[in-house]
Amino acid sequence: MKSEELARAAVRALTPYQSARRLGGNGDVWLNANEYPEAVAFSLTQQTLNRYPECQPAAVITGYAAYAGVKPDQVLVSRGADEGIELIIRTFCEPGQDAIIYCPPTYGMYSVSAETSGVACRTVPTDENWQLDLAGIAAQLDGAKVVFVCSPNNPTGQVINPDDMRTLLEMTRGKAIVVADEAYIEFCPQATLSGWLADYPHLVILRTLSKAFALAGLRCGFTLASAEIIALLLKVIAPYPLSTPVADIAAQALTPQGVAAMRERVTTLLLNRRQLIDGLRDTPCVEQIFDSETNYVLVRLTASSAVFKSLWDQGIILRDQNKQPGLSGCLRITVGTREECQRVLDALNKQPSLTAAENP
Ligand SMILES: *Cc1c(COP(=O)(O)O)cnc(C)c1O
């Protein structure tokens, strides 16, 4: 038998997550992965690489707990928030039996993680304002163990209405886990649901150092939840999920100085976002700009595929969202440095203007 045939059916059927890195490209302006545009310098302080690391390094856990305003036993650290997604599914969903619910257009890893685990996916698309279809979720809840809600949502950019989150948390109480993916919460900190953890023992919040903390290459993310849920996830996580250098740098990023530096970066990026949006308003090929509470802006463009390709050929790499439900003609632009935002605007303004009839 060929190895391919020996693989699980769920794996053979899988389309891997199309990460920005896998999609390739040869650019000098990388605005396709919502990364922070500039590297932050760190030096290693731990030299004991002969020893295994702590499973949950104390300095990282206490640092994040202090930053997030929760108790240390409500924090789990993992290899990116993506590992948190996988751990939640493996902890709560019986393969071949239970389902997850998510609300497209949204982040792609919920379905990828469910499918690799043999867990069914149910989709309840968001409404015309990218808000939750609560009746649709209620109708799908029977047999679903986890509901993923990304807020602010990637790629649309808006926060999910808190009243709707409350309704969702009430309707799922005792039935399903609700995961609020807050990967971009540093760009709108007032919108966090972390203060709700005390009221809702089935609420789980995902966080990451990959976006505002400028550490996507570190691979470090956090899950916030009741101590009871964290204890369950700790049964499933690998014994050494973080290498010693990762824990070392994460602990430095979470000191009061590290957090203050992150907040300054956010202030700068929000100014750059203003510049980008103002420029997009005056750009002929831009049809629609969606509100953003994040470090990216979703736009609908005339002839978006041609524009995407043209910018790609000029070394400006954006993220094409055209294939996502409801996002025809949409590209997602990460907010970069001032210069990078200007490069995008200049390139977009040089696009030949097409009439609607010519728009493929
Ligand atoms: C980037 C991102 C993540 C993944 O974060 P990592 O910590 O890099 O794994 C999770 N959720 C959303 C919505 C993201 O955009």
Beta strands per DSSP E along the chain? 29-30, 75-78, 99-102, 120-123, 144-150, 177-181, 203-208, 221-224, 286-289, 296-301, 316-317, 319-320, 330-334
Q: Given ligand 1 and candidates 82, 110, 209, which is best to mutate, with the most ligand atoms within 8 Å of its CB?
A: 82
Which pLDDT belongs to residue 305? 96
Domain at 58-254, CATH class: alpha beta
The pLDDT assigned to 9 comes to 87
- Give the Å distance between the CA of 1 and the centre of ligand 1: 37
What's the pLDDT score for residue 20?
Answer: 67
Q: Is 210 touching ligand 1 by the criterion CB < 6 Å? A: yes
**Which residues lie closer than 8 Å to 207 by C-beta, 6 or more apart?**
64, 68, 81, 182, 183, 185, 221, 222, 223, 224
Q: Do domains 3-36+258-348 and 58-254 have the same CATH topology?
A: no
107: CA distance to ligand 1 center in Å? 8
| Strands in 116-247 per DSSP E | 120-123, 144-150, 177-181, 203-208, 221-224
> What values do phi and psi take at 304, rounded to 5?
-60, -35
Question: Which backbone phi and psi does 184 adopt, to 5 degrees?
Answer: -110, 15
Which of 107, 113, 184, 209 has most ligand 1 atoms within 8 Å of its beta carbon, as the pocket-test mutant? 107
So what's the pLDDT on residue 296? 98
Q: Which numbered atom of ligand 1 lies nearest the CA of 33?
A: 1
pLDDT score of 26: 73
Residue 84 Cβ inside 6 Å of ligand 1? The answer reads no
pTM summary value: 0.95
Per-position b or e across 84-103, b if 16+ CB within 10 A of its CB = bbbbbbbbbbeeeebbbbbb
**pLDDT for position 220:** 98
Q: From CA 203, how far away is CA 183, in angstroms rounded?
A: 15
The gap between the terminal CA atoms of the chain, to the nearest Å, is 45
Q: Is the CB of 208 under 6 A from ligand 1?
A: yes
Average pLDDT per consecutive 10 residues, the chain (360 residues; last block may be shorter)? 89 78 77 96 94 97 98 98 98 97 98 96 97 98 98 98 98 98 98 98 98 98 98 97 98 98 98 98 97 98 96 95 95 98 97 58
Domain boundaries, the chain: 3-36+258-348, 58-254
Ligand 1 centroid–CA 150 distance in Å is 10
Q: What per-residue confidence (pLDDT) applies to 357? A: 47
CB 317 within 8 A of CB 31: yes
CATH code given to domain 3-36+258-348: 3.90.1150.10
pLDDT of the residue at 14 = 84
